[in-house]
A and B are shown apart, each in its own frame.
Chain A
């Protein structure tokens, strides 16, 4: 196969995968649109609601029905076009073949999304913002800085396990209130996870990666402290959860203001 033919074949496969994705997204969107229309039909179409006389043209269902209807038609059209095109582009004439799309990119996207979810859903609402941010940044930057798979897995565990535990305890209704002893204990445990993550990063970094690993540690800790201080003391925005880390920042801020008084 010449380079030109190879490139052409790659393009054909990419286009086919895109059309297969169109079929899936078209079907999903058509289902969502149908559900949207079904729900809109339960809104008051006529009659009186909350003392306001209703006619079809002022009904709160009017625009949702139009949007849902249009979305359904367009999604079905997209799926139909996807089926036709994917079959045309397939050597066997089948809609879904054996080949899969680039899994490396998907794996990377899943990793990033999981790290973000651990931070946003697990830690930010519950743990001290300074410590949670430092841990998240260290793990996020760290997994892209070392090549060791075991090191990366341990780093991810340092973020995922505390995030899952925090979420589980909160869902059970046992998470302590802000600035309580329980909150400080939980933050101290998160500090241990942070120290563990630093140890994992520096321990698994090869000789050539050591300098980069040190940069990551400095960037993660520095960014977490500077950003938190800038929002809390500069822009006067309370942080999502304030515990041990913010108490330490308050102490430093108090000492600094005492020096200049």
Chain B
């Protein structure tokens, strides 16, 4: 399809979506719900998308996608409210925004900071959408040449890189979390021979573990327990000045916007690495390249613009591997993958083949979602701020009920509730021992892909492993996986440190901890 045709498909999707008044209501409502979800400390974009996914089960896939993406975009933006007004980030993605947003708010410029956040998030989402629309067709083209060899290696690489980058402590814990997820994914009858694996004679386990209760349990239960056990009383938040987009400040910071969007898109495209890392890396880069780094942390608009542009651009980036390869780019994208699967759609290169307008449709939804976020942000910011007064001991038990009924609603199956609780308690234990949860859920999702494709690849080669090293993409993936693993081995790191001392020191200087 040529560029003009794609543009026409995109425009027709926008018109088609906006022609239904119901869609207007869903867009604005889901976006507002997302902003509230993001704003309330303890609730995350991932959890919001997961809970809403179960509510949209009865809708058509376009309506469901509209609601979910509007909520996703809104939640990533909404996290900046408490970050700016209370110095408590609503989501990890907006943690970097607190660095300069809170000092601005303390100076009485809370409205200006929220205006900057709103416009930077809007621009970031649009730039992410452009990347999605431009890059996806090329990646789909490449992915159509992939065979079982590449898909197995891609699944393995996705799990390992997510474990490496998400681990808050030792990298090995991220890998272990990924393998635990893969171990959970092999429960049930295997896809090739229908042999029951780890079902222990329980018919309820024959179909394997339902993905959505696993996702809800893994993200909701630890969040509820951790937020309530570490609860701190919130200060009251008020915005005294007007919330307006500071166009002049944005134009002055155009280079920060472009660079931050590129960082956000790039980081979003890496499997399992989310908006939080994008926000920090972008903030750090803006500070280190600024002529006045000493102003950062004291209410510098460039700091807010950088982190907010990057974390919202990350959404488009995270959708690129999701729609082209079936590998989610961020934790909320994992939930989106689950939601698409609920609607009978299998993300991957075939999605664009079976539904040629899908990328245009997704791009249109992203544009409308970012517009809805911008409208809600500019018009309702002062009202939304009032939800920050809602105590967590009131809304978190309600979130638990939503998780219960959401998990049940999918298959009207009580066993799903037990599964959600068990996974949730396990995920909580892993979280307090500093194991990351995102690689675990990515392992659950990519496990079946790895299983089927490994065996298919070996069937093609009649048991020979040579196919893995005869294909160029496969060789690249093997090298990338080996590099990833070897780079974590202490003697190898010391060797790199001796060979390239300057390079080995550089990442330490750029780490977020050093920029605080």
Pick the contact of A70: B179, B428, B463 (CB < 8 A).
Answer: B179
A187 within 8 A of B: no
Q: For residue A56, which residue of chain B has the nearest CB?
A: B463
Whether B421 contacts A112 by the Cβ 8 Å rule is no
The answer on a CB contact under 8 Å between A60 and B414 is: no
Question: Bound state CA distance, A141 and B394, in angstroms?
Answer: 6
**Given A18-B169, A50-B193, A236-B58; A71-B401 close (CB under 8 Å):** no
CB neighbours (8 Å) of A50 from chain B are 193-195
Which of B79-87, B295-303, B340-348, B402-410 is the contact stretch? Answer: B402-410
Determine if A124 and B183 form an interchain contact, defined as CB atoms under 8 angstroms apart.
no
With both chains docked as a complex, state the minimum distance between the C-beta of A102 and any C-beta of chain B, in angstroms. Answer: 9
Within the complex, the shortest CB–CB distance from B411 to chain A, in Å, comes to 11
Give Cα A190 to B462, complex, Å.
62
Residue B193 contacts which of A60, A75, A109 (CB distance < 8 angstroms)? A60
Nearest CB of chain B from residue A143's CB, rounded to whole Å: 9
Stretch at the interface among B40-48, B367-375, B450-458, B500-508: B450-458
Measured CB to CB, the nearest residue on chain B to A104 is B229
B258 at the interface (CB under 8 A from A): no
Contact, CB under 8 Å: A62 / B454: yes
Inter-subunit contact B221/A240 (CB<8 Å): no
Say yes or no: is A231 at the interface (Cβ < 8 Å to chain B).
Answer: yes
Nearest Cβ on chain B to A78's Cβ, whole angstroms: 5
CB distance from A71 to the nearest CB of B (A): 5
| B58 A235 Cβ-Cβ under 8 A | yes
Q: Is the CB of A215 within 8 A of B394?
A: yes
Any chain B CB within 8 A of the CB of A21?
yes
Task: Report Cα–Cα, A124/B403, bound state, in Å.
Answer: 13
Please indicate the chain A residues that have their CB under 8 angstroms from the CB of B170 in the complex. 22, 78, 81
Do A54 and B414 touch (CB < 8 A)?
no
With contact pairs A219-B394, A236-B58 given, residues A49 and B402 touching in the complex (Cβ less than 8 Å): no
In the complex the two chains form, is B463's CB within 8 Å of A140's CB? no
Among A29, A58, A112, point to the contact of B455 (Cβ < 8 A). A58
Q: Select from chain A the residue with minimum beta-carbon distance to B390.
A: A219
In the complex, chain A residues whose CB is within 8 Å of the CB of B190: 60
Given A21-B433, A50-B194, A75-B176; A57-B459 close (CB under 8 Å): yes
Q: A144 at interface (Cβ–Cβ under 8 A)?
A: yes
* B175 interface hit (Cβ, 8 Å): yes
Chain B residue nearest in CB terms to A62: B455
Contact yes or no, A235 B55, CB < 8 A: yes
Q: CA separation between A133 and B404, bound complex, in Å? A: 10
Contact A227 B195 (CB under 8 A): no
Of B409, B412, B417, B425, the residue contacting A124 (CB under 8 A) is B417
- A141 and B396 CA atoms in complex are apart in Å by 9
Q: Which of B193, B198, B230, B430 contacts A58 (CB 8 A)?
A: B193
Check B195–A240 contact: CB distance below 8 A: no
Which of A58, A105, A124, A140 is within 8 Å of B459, CB to CB? Answer: A58
The contact string, 1 if C-beta is below 8 Å from chain B, for chain A 73-91, is 0110110010000000000
- Cα separation A104 to B229 with both chains bound (whole Å): 8
Known: A57-B458, A67-B183, A116-B400. Is A39-B176 also a contact (CB below 8 A)? no
The answer to whether B463 and A57 touch across the interface, beta carbons within 8 angstroms, is: yes
Known: A43-B195, A78-B170, A140-B397. A116 touches B179 (CB 8 A): no
Q: Which of A207-256 contact B (CB under 8 A)?
A: 215-216, 219, 223-224, 227, 231, 235-240
Interface mask (B442-471 → A, CB under 8 Å = 1, otherwise 0): 000001001100110011001100000000
A residues 23-74 with Cβ under 8 Å of B?
A: 25, 29, 33, 36, 39-40, 43-44, 49-50, 52, 54-58, 60, 62-64, 66-68, 70-71, 74
Say yes or no for A120: interface residue by CB 8 A criterion: yes
Query: In the complex, A57→B394 CA distance in Å?
Result: 53
CB distance B421 to A120 under 8 Å?
yes
Which residues of chain B are within 8 angstroms of A140 by Cβ–Cβ distance? 393, 397, 400
- Bound-state CA distance A145–B402 (Å) is 21
Q: Is the CB of A113 within 8 A of B425?
A: yes
> Quick one: given A60-B193, A120-B417, are A74 and B175 in contact (CB under 8 Å)?
yes
Asked if B193 and A52 sit within 8 Å, CB to CB, the answer is: yes
Alpha-carbon gap, A34 to B474, bound state (A): 30
**Contact A67 B398, beta carbon cutoff 8 Å:** no
A119 at the interface (CB under 8 A from B): yes
Chain B positions within 8 Å of A60 at CB level: 190, 192-193, 195, 197
Query: Does A121 sit within 8 A of B, measured CB to CB?
Result: yes
Interface status of B173 (Cβ within 8 A of chain A): yes
A144–B221 CA distance with the chains assembled, in angstroms = 17
What class of interface size applies to chain A in its complex with B?
Answer: 35 or more
For residue B273, CB closer than 8 A to chain A, the reply is: no
Instruction: Choose one: B186, B230, B421; the contact of A105 (CB below 8 Å).
Output: B230
A165 at interface (Cβ–Cβ under 8 A)?
no
Q: Given the complex, which residues of B lie within 8 Å of A70, measured CB to CB?
A: 179
List residues of chain B with CB within 8 A of the CB of A104: 229
Asked whether, in the complex, the Cβ of B230 is within 8 Å of the Cβ of A141, the reply is no
The answer for the CA separation of A224 and B401 in the assembled complex, in Å, is 9
Contact yes or no, B458 A58, CB < 8 A? yes
Give Cα A136–Cα B398 distance, bound, in whole angstroms: 10
- A52 partner residues in chain B, CB cutoff 8 A: 193
Known contacts A25-B433, A237-B409; A223/B455 CB under 8 A? no
A108 at the interface (CB under 8 A from B): yes
Q: Which of A44, A137, A216 contacts B401 (CB 8 A)?
A: A137
Query: A60 CA to B193 CA in the complex, in Å?
Result: 7
B401 touches A113 (CB 8 A): no
Nearest CB to that of A26 among chain B residues? Answer: B176
Q: Are A57 and B455 in contact (CB under 8 A)?
A: yes
The answer for the CA separation of A240 and B413 in the assembled complex, in Å, is 8
- Complex CA distance for A64 and B195, rounded to whole angstroms: 13
Give the CA-CA distance A201 to B433 in the complex, in Å.
35
Residues of B within 8 A of A77 (CB): 172
Q: Which residues of A contact B (CB under 8 A)?
A: 18, 21-22, 25, 29, 33, 36, 39-40, 43-44, 49-50, 52, 54-58, 60, 62-64, 66-68, 70-71, 74-75, 77-78, 81, 104-105, 108-109, 112-113, 116-117, 119-121, 124-125, 133, 136-137, 140-141, 144-145, 215-216, 219, 223-224, 227, 231, 235-240
Across the A-B interface, give the 5 residue pairs with the lowest CB-CB distance, nearest first.
A144-B393, A57-B458, A108-B229, A60-B190, A140-B397
9 contacts between A and B (CB under 8 A): A36-B198, A60-B192, A63-B186, A64-B186, A109-B229, A112-B229, A124-B417, A227-B398, A235-B58
Given contacts A18-B433, A112-B229, A219-B394, list 7 more A-B pairs with CB under 8 A: A39-B198, A63-B454, A67-B186, A116-B421, A125-B417, A136-B397, A140-B400
